[in-house]
Amino acid sequence: LWAGTIAVTSGTTYQTISGFGAASVWDSIAILKNIAVTLWADDSGQPPASQVNGHVGLSIDRMLIDESGNANWGTEAAAATLAISQNPNMRIYASSWSPPAKWKNNNNTSGNNTGNDNGNPGTNTNQINASNYQAYANYQTSFVTAMKNTYGFTPYAVSVQNEPDYDTTYQSCLWSAAQFDTYIGTYLGPTLQTAGFTNIIMMPESFADNLNLATTTMGDANAAKYVRAIGAHLYGGGPNTIPAGYSTTAGHTVESWETEISDFAANDPSIASGLKYANQIHNCVVDHNFNAYNFWWILNLNTDNEGLYDNANPPNPTKRLFAEGNFSKFIRPGFVRIGATESPSAGVSVSAYYSSTTNKVVIVAINNNNSTQSQTINFTGLTVSTVYPWVTDSGNNLIQQSAVAVTGGSFTYTLSAQSITSFVGSTVSSGPTATPTTTSTFTFTATSTPTKTNTASATSTASNSPSRTPTASPSNTPTPTVTRTVTSTASATPTNTLVNTGTPTSTSTATSTKTTTATNSATSSPTPTATKSPTATPSPTDSLTFTSTSTISSTFTPTKTSTATWTITNSATLTSTSTRTSTP
């Protein structure tokens, strides 16, 4: 392919997307209520004219599991239920920042501020006592049960520990790989399962995407079977592709989630920051097959880049919000990443996604260049007539642009400088959308003559579903089975008249707007035996569905002789196939 050409191929498939989101942890519910529609409402299924500019449609919300030990779930649950009120299909996952202080060896939810331990806590006192594993498993399970029974939703995942390899001044707890394995396989997994919750554990949520913390658990079938997702933060490393063996050992697909990232530079609401995180989403999802991506805070409580909104009152959205929205608004949970030319031009990154359930295709193109870039997009395996571009750049915050026609499976579009553009299209079927009908009557005379074969054929143009009521007057009472093959082609709304100037006589009228093809054949059987009562007059009724240029062949195996002359008048060409079986 030449520079600037993007091949989108539905036949090449990768991971299923679980969604895109951010954390409502510690955020003000009052402020969240004012922006709830912008954040979480899902209008992706609405007609393009009804989809709202600037609404990002996050599909994941991250909440905190209270570490007090007193089951103070209400504050955090309020934000989760607010999100669900905007979109009942929201995926909520929860992380523990620390076990209750009474179960730790420092008797404090906060850490000792020793920093990164690379997953080897040693004798650091910021750890849970092994003797309290069951009590903690019961506590985390009670949280899940309360969410279901009191707040009306079951968390999609529960993370054992936020950043288990970083000792902080605030709520934290250090875990080793072996401790995770024991706790998940022997305590938390079975306790959740007994309570009716299967395979909802997330781990390890390393601050540096340290997969060494997951290796022991995911190599142990007894523990791995309880794990739904590998969570990762990207502050000190990553993203890393999780091994396929994780799913093999678990016995089910284990997802890969990026669960937190931001930065601590002075607040930058510009497109430069938006592009930074758009490229990071692309890196996680496209280059490392992540199923989900989550920014850190929705509302920043500081003055840096930790939030999708700043800390003003009311808060101001940043370009990070809309850059993530270029993915989250239309790439809904259940979409599958499909083949797309990842780097069609220098500084341009592309990915594509498709849902066979909604028949939607989404292409996200990131232009990091300071100049516009013309790109041609070719579809293979998808029939798309129109795409709608949605642009985030220095002057647009996820704004719908004019529709673009797709001709011959291709379209060309100029990406604005430093932008993220999502192209959203609906796939269409090339098959028929209507079944035309016609009614025709056949009258024919057949004389039983053993060992005699007669074939009659005709060509007609129509798209129809005739209902036929033939009347036979044989000189005996044969019982053959007749199969007729009808093939027709159509591209208009024809009217057909078939006049049998001999025997039989048929008139058929049909209306059609689509082209269909059908084929069927059969031979008459069994061989009838002539009777002594040639005056019998059977009156069989049969139904036939076909669409246009018809070829009718009938074979009578012994006992039938018939003569037919046809005059055919057509006004269009259709294609159809039908099977007719009659027993005169």
Q: What is the pLDDT of residue 350?
A: 98
Query: Which token pair is 219?
Result: 């190599």
| DSSP per residue, 418-435 | SEEEEEEEEE---S----
Mean local confidence (pLDDT), 371-394: 98
Higher pLDDT, 505 or 44: 44
Mean local confidence (pLDDT), 106-130: 97
- Judged on CB neighbours under 10 Å (0-12, 13-18, 19+), 574 is buried
Residue 211 has pLDDT above 50, yes or no: yes
Q: What is the pLDDT of residue 553?
A: 41
How far apart CA 283 and CA 176 sit, in angstroms, is: 28
Share of the chain above pLDDT 90, in %: 72
In 3D space, the residue among 515, 455, 513 whose CA is nearest the CA of residue 488 turns out to be 515
Query: Which token pair is 14?
Result: 């990768």
Is 457 within 8 Å of 551 (Cβ atoms)? yes
Residue 95 has pLDDT above 90, yes or no: yes
CA distances to 261, 289, 331 from 281, in Å? 11, 11, 13
In 3D space, the residue among 30, 42, 10, 22 whose CA is nearest the CA of residue 315 turns out to be 30
Band (pLDDT 50/70/90 cuts) for residue 550 is: very low
Q: What is the pLDDT of residue 4?
A: 83
Is 289 within 8 Å of 247 (Cβ atoms)? no
How far apart CA 214 and CA 463 sit, in angstroms, is: 62
Query: CA angle, corner 454, sides to 449 and 457, nearest 5?
Result: 155
Residue 100 has pLDDT above 80, yes or no: yes
**Helix H or strand E encompassing 11:** strand 5-16
For the beta carbon of residue 519, count every other beta carbon within 10 angstroms. 12
How far apart CA 331 and CA 352 sit, in angstroms, is: 9
SS3 state at 231:
strand
Q: What is the pLDDT of residues 321-335, one digit of tens each?
A: 999 999 999 999 999
How far apart CA 439 and CA 478 sit, in angstroms, is: 26
pTM: 0.75
CA distances to 30, 288, 467, 537 from 139, in Å? 28, 34, 69, 84
Token pair 């797309």 is found at: 340
Q: What is the pLDDT of residues 145-200, one digit of tens each?
A: 999 999 999 999 999 999 999 999 999 999 999 999 999 999 999 999 999 999 99
Residue 179 phi, psi (nearest 5)? -65, -40
CA distances to 136, 140, 158, 189, 481 from 127, in Å? 12, 16, 19, 20, 83
Q: What is the pLDDT of residue 295?
A: 98
Residue 584 has pLDDT above 70, yes or no: no
Q: What is the pLDDT of residues 553-583, one digit of tens each?
A: 434 333 343 334 333 334 333 333 333 333 3
Is 438 within 8 Å of 464 (Cβ atoms)? yes
- The alpha carbon torsion through 28, 34, 36, 37 (nearest 10 deg) reads -170
How far apart CA 491 and CA 504 sit, in angstroms, is: 28
Average pLDDT, the chain: 81
Classify residue 464 by its DSSP letter.
Answer: B
Q: What is the pLDDT of residues 411-464, one digit of tens each?
A: 999 999 999 999 999 998 543 333 333 333 433 333 434 433 344 343 333 333
Torsion sign over Cα 530, 531, 537, 543: negative
Residue 405 has pLDDT above 80, yes or no: yes
Token pair 């000189």 is found at: 475
Residue 483 has pLDDT above 60, yes or no: no
Query: Which token pair is 158?
Result: 């529960």
Is 449 within 8 Å of 561 (Cβ atoms)? yes
Mean local confidence (pLDDT), 499-504: 39
Q: What size, in residues, is the chain?
A: 584
Residue 506 has pLDDT above 70, yes or no: no
Q: What is the pLDDT of residue 519?
A: 36
Beta strand 307-309 with 292-299 is parallel
